[in-house]
Amino acid sequence: MKFVHIADLHFDRPFIKLSDKDILGDLRRLEQRKALKKVIEYIKQNNIKYLFISGDLYENKYIRQSTIEYINSLFCEIPDTQIFISPGNHDPYIKDSYYNKFNWSKNVKIFNSEIEKVETEDANIYGYGFNDFYCTNSGIEELKIENEDKINILVIHGTLNGASLEEKQYNSMSSKMLKEKGFDYIALGHIHKLDYNTEPNQRIVNPGSVISLGFDEIGEHGMIVGELTKKEIKLEFIPLDDEQFKEIEIDVTEIISKEELIEKLNNLNIQKNEYIKIILIGNRNFEINEYEILKYMQNERIIKIKNKTKIAIDLEKIANENTLKGIYAKEMLQRLNQEDITRRGQRNNRKSS
């Protein structure tokens, strides 16, 4: 059987922390739509019978009905594809959610907090969905596969091997426990980082977020396409996000003015599909206000500047000043010199002994 596996689209996410530039949030929301459209087009062109969506399809707090209608209209374009959705912590199956009150296309199956098995021609597909914004006990540990001769798939949202208290609030599951269940494929969601083919014959797979949601999600983002039999699994990752989030480090140690820094940043070679975060490092020779410098950026692809520089202090120069600062610097130099003499003496004593 062939399938597509996606997760963590987060439709209508406000992108508040991404940038001070309002238009960027609007652009990313348009790119979310574009990415899902690509998924649907791929399914059409390749006659894929199954689509697994492992949670956080949308943001419950911000989702608009118009967006739900757009998503559902795409689902209606693939009536011969069975779509299985496992609600997550951002889109739980609660009373007033669109999962509960919207009339979805007939080919859509939405799981809830009661673990359920759906029998298809090709496989038995199990699923579980969050019914709240947290989940500490999904009951997966007690789940037993009914027919081991058939292909068995689990569609679920949650943390794999969560250790911290926070991770355990989001349906933390042991990879050892899941492997012992004997599923032929586990379509996981929640962590926005791609995890597939990291071990031979890997069956627990996380496709990561479909598009990058910020600078903490650097790298390619997209979907998993799989072909599965009882004996063999073939997986392929297909990128869907046309944009790339990238961090560039700039050492300011040899830069002597704000104007020189601005000029250097404006001369950077940045691709049209890149969103750039500048990280300033090194010892600064002038005060840096990253928000002020950002205003002078000619390339709108530079959307964030983070200042990680340290103050460059020339104590010897300051010690020559006839000021309180100069007196303090002179005392600091004397202390440093005395400490250096003491350390050298200790090293010589150790050598002679």
Report pLDDT digits (tens) over 136-192. 999 999 999 999 999 999 999 999 998 888 888 999 999 999 999 999 999 999 999
C-beta of residue 173 within 8 angstroms of C-beta of residue 140:
yes
Given a cut of 60, whether residue 353 has pLDDT beyond it is no
Given a cut of 80, whether residue 17 has pLDDT beyond it is no
Sort 298 into a burial class: Cβ within 10 Å, 0-12 / 13-18 / 19+: exposed
Report pLDDT for 22.
63
- In angstroms, rounded to a whole number, what is the distance separating the alpha carbons of residues 259 and 292? 12
pLDDT band at residue 2 using 50, 70 and 90 as cut-offs: very high
Given a cut of 80, whether residue 343 has pLDDT beyond it is no
As given in the structure block, the two tokens for residue 238 are 């297909």
Lowest mean pLDDT segment, chosen from 202-206, 254-258, 283-287: 283-287
DSSP β-bridge partners for residue 237: 224
pLDDT band at residue 59 using 50, 70 and 90 as cut-offs: very high
- In angstroms, rounded to a whole number, what is the distance separating the alpha carbons of residues 312 and 255? 11
- In angstroms, rounded to a whole number, what is the distance separating the alpha carbons of residues 194 and 207? 5
User: From residue 163, how far is each of 95, 167, 335 by CA, in Å?
Assistant: 30, 6, 46
For the entire predicted model, the pTM comes to 0.85
- Average pLDDT score, the chain: 91
Of all residues in the chain, the percent with pLDDT exceeding 70 is 92
| More reliable by pLDDT, 64 or 315 | 64
